[in-house]
């Protein structure tokens, strides 16, 4: 992976972690996702106006991505409703890079060398070590586990679809904008159908914080789509999950969480995996 692509994806990981840790809304998880996604859709319109249009061939990918992101948001919100974040996160985020590697290498025959493959494996192992350090196994009921695993499958699917769509589009920036618009439309329609027009009044007071979340979340995924046109999809998918290392560092700083040996070992595995992906 070229140095500038590597550094850009790391920056995206920091942005992804930051909006998850720093953007605190007094809303339930679903409404928080709705607000941020809707504002990302507004930004997406601006991106479509600012950049050359994507190819027509990429539109089906963006539409498919919008549907997959809707499933992701619904499953994520549901899994967090009854499951602890520290338990749901490693399943939903930690498994996706490995699944992405298996699909892109096994079915798409993408050129993923042994170095990148080993880097993805080390990074995923590090994510699980950091997330589950000091915990006595998973404590999730069957339905929550189902939604957490489903979230991981949706992440894998939309990552691959957007990786291909960004390449086909010829204009990854405007493709990203199109994805943001479709995501916002589908999730907004689902919210209105599920909760009625009152959702607008519920989220409106938090628009300023939502703008910050949208800038960070949108910028992070914009970079990821661009990076997947420059490097193997599996490598980018894994590298952006280094966000969990940033979450750990911010938690230690802001929440005064202790540094344990298993968490430190997991952090070293994440760094080692990232370095192998860079060299691959």
Tokens read off for 238 = 């894994």
Under DSSP, the state recorded for 229 is: T
The predicted pLDDT at position 41 comes to 97
Is the model more confident about 152 or about 128?
Answer: 152
Is the model more confident about 82 or about 193?
Answer: 193
Work out the number of other CB atoms within 10 angstroms of the CB of residue 227. Answer: 27
Domain ranges of the chain: 3-279
Contacts of 208 (CB under 8 A, 6+ apart): none
Closest CA to 218 of 11, 4, 15, 8: 15
Q: Are 227 and 8 in contact (CB under 8 A)?
A: yes
Lowest mean pLDDT among 68-72, 83-87, 98-102: 83-87
- Does 34 have pLDDT greater than 90? yes
Q: Are 37 and 190 in contact (CB under 8 A)?
A: no
Mean pLDDT to the nearest integer, 9-34: 81
CA 34 to chain centre: 15
Q: For residue 140, report the phi and psi dihedrals to the nearest 5 degrees.
A: -125, 140
pLDDT tens digit string along 106-148? 888 887 788 888 988 898 888 878 766 655 555 566 788 888 8
For the purposes of burial, counting CB atoms within 10 Å of the CB of 190, is it exposed (0-12), middle (13-18) or buried (19 or more)? middle
With cut-offs at 50, 70 and 90, classify the pLDDT of residue 174. Answer: very high
Contacts of 135 (CB under 8 A, 6+ apart): 86, 87
Cα separation, 42 vs 223, in Å, equals: 18
Cα separation, 55 vs 278, in Å, equals: 30
In the block, residue with structure tokens 């992101």: 69
Instruction: Give the chain's largest Cα–Cα span.
Output: 52
Give the HSE-up count for residue 92: Cα atoms under 13 Å, Cβ half-sphere.
Answer: 27
Mean pLDDT to the nearest integer, 20-40: 81
Contacts of 71 (CB under 8 A, 6+ apart): 150, 154
With cut-offs at 50, 70 and 90, classify the pLDDT of residue 242. Answer: confident
Q: Are 112 and 248 in contact (CB under 8 A)?
A: no
Lowest mean pLDDT among 91-95, 230-234, 240-244: 91-95
The predicted pLDDT at position 107 comes to 84
- Does 208 have pLDDT greater than 80? yes
The predicted pLDDT at position 279 comes to 85
pLDDT tens digit string along 258-276? 667 777 888 888 889 889 9
Give percent of the chain above pLDDT 90.
49
Mean pLDDT to the nearest integer, 244-249: 75
Q: For residue 109, report the phi and psi dihedrals to the nearest 5 degrees.
A: 55, 35
pLDDT tens digit string along 46-70? 999 999 999 999 999 999 999 999 9
Closest CA to 273 of 122, 129, 127: 122
Tokens read off for 1 = 């992976």
Q: Are 180 and 47 in contact (CB under 8 A)?
A: yes
| Mean pLDDT (the chain, rounded) | 87
Q: Are 110 and 234 in contact (CB under 8 A)?
A: yes
Cα separation, 147 vs 96, in Å, equals: 14
Mean pLDDT to the nearest integer, 186-213: 93
With cut-offs at 50, 70 and 90, classify the pLDDT of residue 253. Answer: low
Is the model more confident about 142 or about 24?
Answer: 142
The predicted pLDDT at position 136 comes to 55
């Amino acid at each position: 992976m070229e140095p500038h692509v590597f550094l850009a994806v790391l920056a995206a990981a920091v942005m992804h972690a930051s909006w998850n840790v720093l953007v605190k809304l007094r809303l339930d998880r679903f409404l928080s996702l709705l607000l941020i996604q809707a504002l990302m859709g507004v930004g997406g319109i601006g991106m479509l106006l600012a950049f050359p249009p994507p190819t027509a061939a990429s539109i089906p990918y963006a539409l498919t991505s919008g549907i997959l992101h809707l499933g992701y948001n619904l499953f994520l919100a549901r899994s967090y409703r009854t499951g602890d974040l520290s338990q749901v996160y490693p399943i939903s985020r930690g498994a996706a890079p490995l699944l992405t590697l298996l699909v892109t290498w096994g079915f798409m025959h993408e050129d993923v060398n042994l170095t990148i493959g080993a880097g993805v494996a080390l990074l995923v192992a590090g994510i699980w070590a950091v997330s589950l350090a000091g915990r006595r196994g998973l404590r999730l009921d069957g339905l929550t586990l189902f939604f957490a695993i489903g979230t991981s499958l949706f992440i894998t699917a939309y990552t691959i679809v957007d990786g291909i769509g960004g390449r086909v589009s010829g204009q990854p920036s405007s493709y990203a904008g199109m994805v943001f618009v479709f995501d916002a439309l589908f999730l907004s329609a689902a919210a209105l159908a599920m909760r009625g027009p009152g959702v607008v009044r519920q989220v409106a007071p938090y628009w300023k914080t939502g703008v910050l979340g949208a800038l960070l979340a949108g910028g992070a995924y914009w970079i990821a789509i661009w990076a997947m046109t420059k490097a193997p999809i599996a490598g980018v998918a894994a590298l952006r999950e280094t966000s969990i290392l940033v979450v750990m560092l911010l938690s230690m700083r802001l929440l005064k969480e202790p540094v344990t040996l298993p968490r430190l070992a997991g952090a070293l595995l994440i760094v080692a995996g990232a370095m192998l992906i860079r060299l691959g």
